[in-house]
Amino acid sequence: MTRLEREARTIETMIHLYCHNLHGSKVELCPECAELRDYALLRVERCRFGADKPVCAKCQVHCYRRDMRDRVRAVMRHSGPRMLARHPVLAIGHLIDSARSGRDGRS
């Protein structure tokens, strides 16, 4: 799995966890979370840095619209602490990617 594929899978997993816990979804996402997932996956796919993409928190270019950025922050605040227990491989992979991203946001 490439780094971009892992990042896409991580954000999708975090959104599913958030929606399941707060909106009661079981299999399908609620419409608001489905919209956020589609938007986030599109942003990862179209990242101007391609394979050299830093983790979003360390990126110098904010490609998310303000409202979507706020929604993703809420998802990460909720899901981030739960990821290590529920999806340890993705969580550790994200932590490693974050540590590899330099101060300027480049890997």
Contact between 91 and 97 (Cβ < 8 Å): no
Q: What is the pTM of this model?
A: 0.88
Let me know if residue 105 belongs to a domain.
no
- For the segment 44-60, what is each residue's pLDDT rounded down to a tens digit? 999 888 888 888 778 88
Total domains present in the chain: 1
Distances in whole angstroms, Cα of residue 44 to Cα of each of 3, 27, 51, 55 = 11, 23, 10, 10
- Domain of residue 46: give its range: 3-100
Let me know if residue 96 belongs to a domain.
yes
- For the segment 46-105, what is each residue's pLDDT rounded down to a tens digit? 988 888 888 877 888 888 999 999 999 999 999 999 999 999 999 999 888 888 875 544
* pLDDT score at 102: 59
The whole-number average pLDDT for the span 31-47 is 96
Let me know if residue 56 belongs to a domain.
yes
